[in-house]
Structure 1
Amino acid sequence: MLTKLLRLQQFTGGFIQTDDGNKPELVFRGKLNALEDILDDYVIDAGKKLVVFCRFRPEIDLIQKLLEKKKIKYCSIYGDIKIDDRGAIVKEFQNNPDVKVFLAQIDTAGLGITLTAADTCVYYSVNFNYAAYSQSLARIHRIGQRNRCTYIHLVVEKTIDETVLKALAKKEDLAKTVVDDWKQFF
């Protein structure tokens, strides 16, 4: 069941990753197009910094290509980035006015860092774990933040995205819920 939920969530993020390990295939641009609109409004037009959280590495790759196409400077943290290098990446985002986007995997950069250079955070996708999600919310809403914080969730209607967000709103760990009561999902 968890694998099915994972595949459904990957699909809403725009790609399909097969179990045989083939390269992820782009199948949907809905969230990417929505993110592009947000980048145009917040980053290009308003000159603001933005934090973008994703669950999956192929999503990060898609977004990096979009940022490069739009010539927006960014920093990224994901699982392959060495722990010793992450502090300098955060510092670059916080202190360099030219770096406009902080792009990160929620499990890798959702805990223990300060990203108050931005007051807006976009969730391209989230994981099933409430604790990780809750911690990621606090990355821009910390001591030193002078502005009201805005959180934007990119959600494909009537999909697993809505199910995951409802579970997180109830402070549930969806993975545990599915294992305990999988019939409500399928």
Structure 2
Amino acid sequence: MHPSVKTPASVPKWEEFTVTDAPQPAQLDNIKAQLDLILLALEALAGIGSEAMLRAAVDLKIESMVADRVALWRLRQSSPLRKGQGGRKKLDVEEARALVLISCYLAKQNQELIRRAVGLLEQLAEQNREPHQAALIGDYLDTFCNTYQERMEDGESVSPDTLTHLALKLLIDLLFYSGPGGSRRLWLALLDRSR
């Protein structure tokens, strides 16, 4: 994968995004799906795997929520977009917040790579060129699309253009989630999108 310089990530706090109204079960399903896609985008861009996610949980002192690979797999597998019935179907608010913290922590660690990718995307758009013409973005799009097709229930039926659009939107979103207040920004976006 592409090397990137890791920037030190400050530890976000639970207080950064409190829950005034607990999401309803249907909203939590949508939140599960969105969080899984964000983690998929991080995986595809930065080569982040379950070990990095578990290390982030330890760094954030939330390892009780994501204790091991099986717990992480069950949380991710609970996304309604996923193939198979192996995961737990219920994700509670605290687990959702834990995944938000992990996602933003990892995005912040890979902020330089995310910035470089978004910068390339802007350059290509200005030059009226296709995103895949830059190696970094082309590799990201290929990995994202292939992984989506392998893991998601509708993977085989979603058009490549739709997947490319989704991957690029998530890439731009990652830029916002990697900055100061990223956890709060992501949490509010999840709540807003789930309504």
Higher helix share: 2
TM-score by length of 1: 0.26
Higher strand share: 1
Q: Flag the structure with more relative contact order, 1 or 2, with Cα contacts below 8 A and sequence separation at least 6.
A: 2
TM-score by length of 2: 0.25
